[in-house]
Chains A and B, each alone.
Chain A
Amino acid sequence: MLDKKKHHFLQLVVIFGAITLLTLLFAWGSREGTTSSMGMMGQSMGSMMQSMHAKNVTISDLIKQQEQTEMSSGMSSHHESGSMSIKISHYLTTGIIIVLLPFIIAGAVFLGIVWWK
C-alpha cells in the first residue's frame, strides 16, 4: 500500500494536479480554433535565440561588444518615455544586482575553498 509518510506529498500532488488540469482545460477551451501553426511560435525564447544568435558563435563573439543596432536604440528611446517609478525600480534593481554580484561570486569562491577542505 501507499507509504503513510508520503501521504502529505500525495495530497499536494492531487491538489496541484487538479489545478493544472483545470487550467489546461480552461486554456484549451478558451483558445479553440485559434491554434496557429506551431513553427517558430512553438519554440521557447531560449531555443529561438540560440538558433538565431548563438548557433555558430565563438568565444570571442561572447565577449566583444557589438555595435548598437537600429532596433535596440529605438527600444531604449521607447523605454525612456516610461514612468518615473519604472525608472527608479530599474536603477534600484540593476544597482542591487551589479553591486552584489561580485560579493556573491567572492563568497561562493570562499565557501568553495573552505568546504573543499
Chain B
Amino acid sequence: MSVRFDFIIHWLWTIVFALLTLSGLAMAGAKYGWVLNYDIASADYVHRVLAAIYVLLTFISIAYEVIRAVRYEEKKLGWFIIGKSGYQLFTFITTLIFIITGAIIWVCMDSNMSATAFALYIHEKLTYIVVASVIWHIYVKCHALLWPKKPNTTDKKNVAGTK
C-alpha cells in the first residue's frame, strides 16, 4: 500500500501543531501553566523550535500547491492541510495568521511592546478558536480513524443497484 504525500504532511503537521498547542498553552498564563508543570523556559524553547518546523511544513505545503496550480492539477487532495474550500481553507488562513503574528512576537519582543501585545493577543485567542475547530474536525472526519480503509459497503450496494 502506498502512503500518499498529503497523508504524511497531514500527520506531521498535526503532531507539530499538537505539541505547539501544549507548549503554547503552558506559556499562555498561570491558568494553563500546569500543562508543562510551570516549566516556562522549556515550553518557550520547545515552542520556538517547533514553530520553525511548523513554518517549514507550511512552506512545503504551499510550494506543493503552487506547483499543482501551475500544472493545472485539479484533483482534490483529501488529506492535505491547505486547499481552496472547507476546513482546508480555514486551516490555510488560520495558519497564515499564526505564522505572521508569531513572527511579529518573535521579532518585536525587545523593540515594540505594542506590536508584541497586539500580535500576542490575536495569536492566543486564535488558538482557542482553532483548538475548538479541531474537535469539530475530528468529529466530522472520524471515519478516517478506520485505517487502513475498508471498502464502503453502501457504495457497493449502490453500484450493484444501478447495474
A residues within 8 Å of B by Cβ? Answer: 5-6, 8-9, 12, 23, 27, 31, 41-50, 52-54, 57, 61-66, 68, 72-73, 75-76, 86, 89-90, 92-94, 96-98, 100-101, 103-105, 107-108, 110-111, 114-115
- Expressed in whole angstroms, the Cα–Cα distance for A40 and B83 within the complex equals 41
A12:B138 contact, CB within 8 angstroms? yes
- Interface of B (DSSP majority class): helix
Q: Contact check, B29 vs A43: say whether CB atoms are below 8 A apart.
A: yes
B131 at the interface (CB under 8 A from A): no
A48 and B146 alpha carbons, distance in the complex (Å): 43
Task: Decide: B106 and A94 in contact? CB cutoff 8 A.
Answer: yes
Supposing A62-B114, A101-B103 touch, asked if A107 and B66 sit within 8 A by C-beta, the answer is yes
Q: How many A-B residue pairs have CB under 8 A?
A: 151
Given contacts A8-B142, A108-B92, 6 further A-B pairs with CB under 8 A are A68-B110, A89-B48, A93-B51, A96-B56, A107-B65, A115-B69
Contact A66 to B113, CB < 8 A, known contacts A27-B34, A104-B55, A115-B84 = yes
- Contacts known (A53-B114, A96-B56); A111 close to B103, Cβ less than 8 A: no
**Would you list which residues of chain B between 63 and 108 have a CB under 8 Å from chain A?**
63, 65-66, 69, 82, 84, 92, 96, 99-100, 102-103, 106-107
- Within the assembled complex, what's the spacing in Å between the Cα atoms of A51 and B157? 61
Q: Which residues between 27 and 67 of chain B lie within 8 Å of chain A, taking CB atoms?
A: 27-32, 34, 45, 48-49, 51-52, 55-56, 58-59, 62-63, 65-66
Q: Do B115 and A42 touch (CB < 8 A)?
A: no
Q: Which listed residue, B27, B28, B29, B99, touches A101 by the CB 8 Å rule? A: B99
Chain A contact residues, majority secondary structure: helix
Using an 8 Å CB-CB cutoff, how does the interface string of B102-133 with A read, 1 for contact, 0 for none?
11001101111111111011111100000000
- Cβ contact within 8 Å between B31 and A44: yes
